[in-house]
């Protein structure tokens, strides 16, 4: 369970990132955050694992405040939160397997990791994670030999190998074409359903949000303006979130159906 308690973020230059957010996300939910670019989607997502710091309030994960966590405690909490990035953030020159294994570093001592010695159990786990996203056969290829969609699936596998209880995905499909977009979203959805991993995704395609989410959160200028089930998120609601009518480029369109 993730709880936001009066969370605010003000940048040093005075810009408001988040404004008094109160939210509770229950285990196993598939939440999609929507909003214009600059509305604070990324800030909200990254404040959960503290890649971005908040200036006020508290964020609790399973009842424990990550906002107050320090040093090793913070690292330990991050270990349970997987993250998927728009630009994949893989080490392109390393093998796929090594990239997936890098999700396991939180489980072992620093010395052991500097030597790069992973136990067989980790390797098996990594290979299984790759199998789950259907790229087991690419395990020993270099990451940059893979297509964009495949690379994103490697980063999903990294989060799986991490044995994360929560997956944060920050615009996971923004650099992908429509077809691979659906494959990646399908993977995320399947993992969410099969393993019960709480999944929070930032998206700017409205139709994708409707198709995959169980719950939609709308942000506008750092403020929570909508929070509810998909069924209630009508075009009108989106119009309110965006402050205007939906544009064509905010729809992925029918590709892949």
Residues that bind another protein (CB under 8 A): 49, 51, 72, 74-83, 85, 87-94, 98, 102-103, 105-106, 110, 113-114, 116, 136-141, 155, 158, 162, 168
Six token digits for residue 211: 């198709």
> Whole-number minimum distance, CB 119 to another protein, in Å?
16
Other CB atoms within 10 Å distance of the CB of residue 144: 11
* Residue 23 vs 127, nearer CB to another protein: 127
Kindly state the greatest CA–CA separation across the chain. Answer: 56
* Residue 117 vs 251, nearer CB to another protein: 117
- Main-chain dihedrals φ then ψ at residue 108, nearest 5 degrees: -125, 165
> Whole-number minimum distance, CB 100 to another protein, in Å?
11
Residue count of the chain: 257
* Residue 58 vs 136, nearer CB to another protein: 136
Q: How far apart are CA 200 and CA 30, in angstroms?
A: 6
* Residue 32 vs 48, nearer CB to another protein: 48
> Whole-number minimum distance, CB 210 to another protein, in Å?
27
Q: How far apart are CA 60 and CA 83, in angstroms?
A: 17
């Amino acid at each position: 369970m993730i709880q936001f308690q009066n969370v605010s973020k003000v940048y040093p230059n005075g810009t408001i990132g988040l404004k008094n957010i109160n939210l509770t996300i229950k285990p196993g939910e598939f939440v999609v955050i929507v909003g214009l670019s600059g509305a604070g989607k990324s800030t909200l997502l990254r404040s959960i694992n503290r890649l971005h710091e908040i200036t006020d309030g508290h964020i609790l994960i399973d009842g424990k405040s990550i906002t107050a966590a320090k040093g090793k405690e913070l690292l330990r909490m991050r270990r349970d939160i997987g993250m998927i990035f728009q630009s994949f953030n893989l080490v392109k020159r390393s093998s796929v397997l090594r990239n997936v294994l890098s999700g396991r570093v939180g489980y072992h001592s620093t010395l052991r990791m500097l030597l790069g010695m992973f136990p067989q159990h980790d390797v098996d786990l990594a290979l299984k994670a790759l199998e789950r996203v259907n790229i087991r056969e690419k395990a020993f290829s270099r990451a940059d030999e893979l297509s964009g969609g495949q690379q994103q699936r490697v980063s999903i596998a990294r989060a799986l190998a991490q044995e994360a209880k929560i997956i944060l995905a920050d615009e996971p499909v923004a650099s992908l074409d429509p077809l691979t977009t659906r494959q990646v979203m399908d993977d995320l959805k399947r993992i969410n359903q099969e393993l019960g991993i709480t999944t929070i995704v930032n998206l700017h395609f409205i139709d994708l949000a409707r198709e995959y989410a169980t719950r939609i959160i709308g942000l506008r200028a750092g403020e929570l303006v909508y929070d509810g089930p998909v069924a209630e998120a009508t075009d009108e609601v989106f119009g309110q979130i965006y402050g205007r009518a939906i544009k064509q480029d905010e729809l992925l369109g029918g590709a892949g159906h």
